[in-house]
A and B are shown apart, each in its own frame.
Chain A
């Protein structure tokens, strides 16, 4: 019951926000991508009710909005986590062990790329190249590029930036391990 109420509220506010943004654009198809970019900037992702508003406004079939939203890597259809972890897998990062860094994040956060942790604290994704190959391997954490990483440095970032909760989670994991 409560969950449905919250969901309805979320939908209403997404629709309101969408209409507010749409007013700034002319009704031409070539504005579709800039509109979706603005929406995602405001809401963090593209909720279904907001995409429906866009289709109605541009007078195009809903499937075409969905088609564009799913074609481009920039758009996401699920809510993001509070903290965003973007592991660079460009060529330079790959040769310097980017895959090992990705695995380290996966291990610690317990999620795969494209997923958000259950508590919505973190989401994890890969990026093709952030263009600072000198610092390889790189992970962008909440918009800040962290360079020259190693699996131990990943732990260091988690502990120093997101301290206590994560430390507790680690401890719990340690206890589980020692039981085994």
Chain B
């Protein structure tokens, strides 16, 4: 049963006015005589020098007496090619350029904007089908990709609500407000949407529990406390398309009957905090937030809360404690937040990507969403590709795509001719999967079976130079540091496991350590309240399952097969390869540990050496005289 006809017409009428204004200013931007220059200026673009490129292009425009509209956009996910610049000039399709620095920026202004030479040597492709040059989307990776949640990222100015409105933004909210909350929940349930925070709980079901739970007021919270090292997709969405998340939160609020929402963003993401703040302000001014939204009678307010840097606050009960002004300690569930959450009231907590999916589901329908993905995991998944992979950045694929397609077809594989060893998926809660597991389709269930989990979607590729024991130690160091200390087994168990792993990587491993690690891992899993402790042993268990031989080499032979663990390796200069007249390594050494002996051969003082590897990089490739040896006693002793 829909809501009354007059009310629905009123909502549509108000929205059409907003949209008309937005469309007009959007069209004016693109159809004016001035060319439009879009520059990717999210955190990744800025780190690569986007601000400098913008300044250089502005200066050059002024020098040439040209006019152009420069728009700072978000992140398209192609971080490997940052800074990215798109130029739309009349008579040409919009062209995307990659790896732009100040000089190339100035050249684009002079050659393309002044003289119609589009500098195709810097172009990655056109962003539309055309007859002049190949489209960027013809690259093989796009056969596998399916861009839904990232569709606005890098295409619109995230600080301009009209851009979002002009691209059908807030259409989902408008459709939602015309229907009853129960119908919205049904639609989300039918779409098969599951929580993108890692556990994959059905979103519609969570909303329904919250709606039916007694107690007022109710709350909805957006969990943007993206703390997994190696995951940055939530940051990219918040910085590039904040309104999609805000719209999802408003719809969630309407569906469960909440009048207040929180967006919990890490304070370590200052740009995301700023852009979300701007988005909230603009939505309020347009009447999309606040009292009587679009005349529907629904009131909703949003508060931006900055998380203070505690990994455990990604856990929902800890996050709630933190908003209440307490240390972020999780508590036992049940009661789940959906029945008893913030200030003891029914509360829905959803991840950034979950909420960004909601407006699209309402706008395009549950069937459309359910047509993407697999039987039990619907929609798309976003992965952050990092580590030893060619095309670092973000990718969005339908659920069910295999890891091999993501890493090799989209990510371009391992650079430098190195051999793929493993992929670490799901951050500190996930695990390391070997080559054999690459044909697994990625969805919530298959990854859990393999011992990993989807987690937040961080995907770090490891090659032959990475030591699996060291990776396990690295993650344990992280979880041990971030354990809140409430549960004994998590607090002390992670510490003990870390100490054993440190001993193994430093050559003090003993017979029986592996068994002890396995026992402790099971105990920590069993004896922890929240997901931090229950999943902390995953990196150890998966590396033991797939790379046990590396543990054994460390323990029995005091050898690191990947030549990574610094206590188990030594740098050595092969006398027969050393070119006596070359001094490259001597000058490069950061601690002056390399000297020249009487035969003019370079020698490393093992006592002074800090094993930073600078000499190995410095030695010219034609000599290749610096090698790593493990165990370190392979270095010949001086007579």
Task: Report A's interface with B, CB cutoff 8 A.
Answer: 28-34, 36-37, 64, 67-68, 71-75, 89-92, 94-97, 100, 103-104, 107, 127-136, 138, 145, 147, 150-152, 155, 177
Interface residue B474 (Cβ < 8 Å from any Cβ of A): yes
Residues in A whose Cβ lies below 8 Å from that of B226: 131
Most central of A29, A152, A155 by chain B CB within 10 Å: A152
CA distance A59 to B324 in the complex (A): 15
Contact B460 A74 (CB under 8 A): no
Residues in A whose Cβ lies below 8 Å from that of B232: 129, 131-133
In the complex, per-residue mask of B309-330: 1 if CB is within 8 Å of any chain A CB, else 0: 1110000000000111111100
CA distance A95 to B110 in the complex (A): 41
Contact B324 A29 (CB under 8 A): yes
Q: How far is the CB of B119 from chain A (nearest CB, A)?
A: 23
Which of B40-48, B179-187, B354-362, B444-452 lies at the binding interface?
B40-48
In the complex, per-residue mask of B45-74: 1 if CB is within 8 Å of any chain A CB, else 0: 011100000000000000000000000000
Given contacts A29-B325, A147-B47, A177-B592, 9 further A-B contacts (CB under 8 A): A34-B305, A37-B308, A132-B43, A132-B47, A133-B232, A133-B392, A145-B47, A150-B617, A155-B590
Please tell me which one of the listed residues A33, A37, A129, A145 contacts residue B230 in the complex, with CB atoms under 8 A apart.
A129
Residues in A whose Cβ lies below 8 Å from that of B478: 128
Interface residue B145 (Cβ < 8 Å from any Cβ of A): no
Contact A129 B47 (CB under 8 A): no
Contact A91 B474 (CB under 8 A): yes
From known contacts A30-B323, A134-B44, infer whether A73 and B393 are also in contact, taking CB-CB under 8 Å. no
From known contacts A73-B310, A151-B612, infer whether A134 and B393 are also in contact, taking CB-CB under 8 Å. yes
Please tell me which one of the listed residues A68, A133, A152 contacts residue B326 in the complex, with CB atoms under 8 A apart.
A68
Please tell me which one of the listed residues A92, A104, A138 contacts residue B47 in the complex, with CB atoms under 8 A apart.
A138
Which of B87-95, B380-388, B508-516, B623-631 lies at the binding interface?
B380-388
Contact B590 A128 (CB under 8 A): no
CA distance A164 to B267 in the complex (A): 34
Contact A133 B327 (CB under 8 A): no
Q: How far is the CB of B269 from chain A (nearest CB, A)?
A: 7
CA distance A36 to B326 in the complex (A): 12
Residues in B whose Cβ lies below 8 Å from that of A91: 229-230, 386-387, 424, 427, 458, 460, 474-475
Interface residue B606 (Cβ < 8 Å from any Cβ of A): no
Contact A92 B387 (CB under 8 A): yes
23 residue pairs from A and B, CB less than 8 Å apart: A33-B305, A33-B306, A68-B327, A71-B310, A71-B484, A72-B327, A73-B308, A73-B310, A89-B229, A91-B386, A91-B458, A94-B229, A94-B471, A95-B387, A96-B387, A104-B612, A128-B229, A131-B44, A131-B269, A132-B44, A145-B47, A150-B614, A150-B617
Interface residue B228 (Cβ < 8 Å from any Cβ of A): yes
Q: How far is the CB of A64 from chain B (nearest CB, A)?
A: 8
Residues in B whose Cβ lies below 8 Å from that of A97: 613
Contact A75 B388 (CB under 8 A): no
Interface residue B275 (Cβ < 8 Å from any Cβ of A): no
From known contacts A67-B327, A107-B610, infer whether A72 and B310 are also in contact, taking CB-CB under 8 Å. yes
Q: Give the A-B contact count at a CB cut-off of 8 A.
A: 146
In the complex, per-residue mask of B386-397: 1 if CB is within 8 Å of any chain A CB, else 0: 111000110000
Q: How far is the CB of B75 from chain A (nearest CB, A)?
A: 10
Task: Report B's interface with A, CB cutoff 8 A.
Answer: 43-44, 46-48, 79-80, 82, 226-232, 235, 267-269, 305-306, 308-311, 322-328, 384, 386-388, 392-393, 424, 427, 458, 460, 462, 466, 471, 474-475, 478, 484, 588, 590-592, 610-614, 617
Nearest B residue (CB) for A144: B47
Contact A94 B308 (CB under 8 A): no
Contact B592 A134 (CB under 8 A): no
Q: How far is the CB of B40 from chain A (nearest CB, A)?
A: 12
Contact A68 B47 (CB under 8 A): no
Residues in B whose Cβ lies below 8 Å from that of A150: 614, 617
Residues in A whose Cβ lies below 8 Å from that of B268: 74, 127-128, 130-131
Nearest A residue (CB) for B389: A92
CA distance A77 to B613 in the complex (A): 36
CA distance A132 to B271 in the complex (A): 13
Contact B308 A95 (CB under 8 A): no
Please tell me which one of the listed residues B79, B231, B474, B617 contacts residue A134 in the complex, with CB atoms under 8 A apart.
B79
Q: How far is the CB of A45 from chain B (nearest CB, A)?
A: 14
Residues in B whose Cβ lies below 8 Å from that of A130: 43, 268
Residues in B whose Cβ lies below 8 Å from that of A72: 308-310, 322, 327-328
Residues in A whose Cβ lies below 8 Å from that of B460: 91-92, 95
Contact B229 A74 (CB under 8 A): no
Q: How far is the CB of A147 from chain B (nearest CB, A)?
A: 6
Ranked nearest first, the 6 interchain pairs of A and B with the lowest CB-CB distance are A72-B308, A73-B309, A91-B230, A90-B229, A32-B325, A133-B386
